[in-house]
Structure 1
Amino acid sequence: MSHPNASTQPLVLNVERAEDVVRAATMLRDGRVLVVPTDTVYGLAADIFRPGAIGRVLEMKERASDSPLPVLLGSAADLPLLSNRVPRLAWRIIELFWPGALTLTLPARSGLHPALTGVGNTVACRVPASHSCLEMLESLGTPVTGTSANRSGFPASRLGLEAAETLTTGPDAVLLDDPHVPGGPPSTVVELRDSLIVVLREGSVGVEELRRETGERVVLAKALEDLTERR
């Protein structure tokens, strides 16, 4: 059932049609907001350099502006658009887990929209392992918001049109994958504190896998907070 404030039905585009993928990128470049497939659930995409589009994403999700929006990149080569301080350990993690469901939190470069950085002045980003999403990002040439296409506090959807119906106002278009995106756990979110990998949100990439693949110390943020409080 559509939300009572939902607008008219969005334009439906198909990832199987190359011209539709290009059209999706053009719409994003023009400041539109789209529901797009990722390697986990459907995401709500807006060009990160279009402030008005980012504002619409926050409105659609009923999301507080102090809860930063994650970012999807077309490749790791786009990282300088987000951060000019990428430590060596971050590059190792990128080589191991990108494209994929691991979100890396890095110091944000100046000038990014505050909805992407929050009070900590960091930016959370990843390269998705979704061919259709990567095609769209390549055509666009800039990163997009990568938040799930649902109202805050509601379940995320693996179906594009269903995702669009849960939002407070409709997106401009839905880029449909066939039959649906994989679903499953969300991306794992990590940040680096010197040589320590801190897991801010558990997800598709497990703690043990991180330890095994990187050979570094990996801790859950909650466990680290508890340890700090005991000292």
Structure 2
Amino acid sequence: MTRFLQIRGADDSAISEAATILAAGGLVAFPTETVYGLGADGLNPEAVAKIYAAKGRPATNPVILHVDNVASAKALVSHWPEAAQRLADRFWPGPLTLVLPASETVPSIVRAGGPSVALRCPAHRVALALIRAVGRPLAAPSANRSQHLSPTRAEHVASSLGEAVDLILDGGATEAGLESTILDLSGARPRILRPGPITPADLAAIVGSVDLWEGAVRAGERQAAPGMAERHYAPRARLDLVTPGSAVAVPSERVAYVALGRLPALPDQVRGVLLPLDAEIVGARLYALLHELDDAGFERVMMERPPEGEAWMAVRDRLRRASAKEMG
């Protein structure tokens, strides 16, 4: 049976127990301000391999290393540019991941065999306390099966990973609800590889204009960072994006319709869900809602396409990948 330990703060005794498991090469799921992470000693290749096995994660998909300060991050890169320092000063701890040239300290499995490493300092007291207790960076992708919904509650972790994780630290619901922004600083110009809570305007205010990568990495191709796959973040139900206010026919399956701002008239057989026309609130609630609809047995979720504009960029990205058709 999966072990849960409820944790109230950074001084909780559960931190010590979790750190002991991690130091011995085990796996611990823990909360961050974005989603729950599946943690392992990031400098222990055998421990990181357990993450890949537990998630069913392709070897072509690197993992983020979580650190507790800039000094720890600098030890993991071959070059720490001035832009990285300015961004860390402004956004760390916080939901910003920086991709930089890796030092020889970083195991190849963490980098998916590539030349760069993704680094983040989380803004969650439990996550920071755990990193400090272990005394090493923690590899910690989202604590769920590969391509599936990210967890925003401890029970989501248990439902997805079961006995594959040694311990789950239950810190309640996460705050941001969407994964971190990933900014690549390893090239000639800063480039966003995954939108997130830190917006292009936020970044541009610190480092000038940034490029935005909006493609998709096909199965079998190496990713420069997490979250670049064609299909990702998907619920069990089929997710279809529709024009706001779309007519809905009487369904032959269990269908939920998620509206933004205004709920249209729906057949009695369709469950209507109304979310506010607010990107931050929708981002915080999106995964939890999709988990709820999965658990309730809905076979199809129709969700209205979010508006254009920078504020909705991260939500649009997650929904685009979650609704991508599964390749056979």
TM-aligned CA deviation for residue 215 of structure 1: 4.5
* Match of residue 227 from structure 2: none
In structure 2, the CA distance between the partners of 1:156 and 1:194, relative to structure 1 (3 Å rule), is closer
Q: Give the CA RMSD over aligned residues.
A: 1.8
Amino acid at match of 2:203: L
Matched with 2:194 is 201
Tell me if structure 1 keeps the 8 A contact 2:143–2:157: yes
**Corresponding letter in the other structure for 1:217:** S
1:64 alignment counterpart = 58
Superposed displacement of residue 38, structure 1:
0.6
Tell me the equivalent position of 1:191.
184
Correspondence 1:1-231 to 2 at 5 A = 8-16=1-9, 18-167=12-161, 169-177=163-171, 179-192=172-185, 196-212=189-205, 214-222=206-214
Post-superposition offset of 1:112 = 2.1
- Displacement of 1:183 in angstroms is 4.0
Q: Which amino acid aligns with 1:221?
A: W
- Unmatched tracts of structure 1, length 5 or more: 1-7, 224-231
Q: AA paired with 2:190?
A: I
SS of alignment partner, residue 164 of structure 2: coil
Tell me if structure 2 keeps the 8 A contact 1:195–1:217: no
8 Å Cα contact 1:84/1:109 also seen in 2: yes
Q: How far 1:194 sits from its partner (Å)?
A: 5.9
Q: Larger relative CO (CA 8 A, sep 6+): 1 or 2? A: 1
- How far does the alpha carbon of each residue in 1:68-100 deviate from its partner, in whole angstroms, 9 at most, with x for none? 011110111101331131111111111111100
Matching residue of 1:228: none
Partner of 2:281: none
The alpha carbon displacement at 1:187 in A equals: 0.5
Question: How far did residue 118 of structure 1 move?
Answer: 2.2
Aligned length: 214
Q: TM-score, normalised by structure 1?
A: 0.86
Please report how far the alpha carbon of residue 18 of structure 1 lies from its aligned counterpart in structure 2 after TM superposition. 2.2
1-structure distance, mates of 2:65, 2:58: 16
Bigger radius of gyration among the two: 2
Which range is displaced more, 187-196 or 43-52? 187-196
Shift in Å, 1:170: 2.3
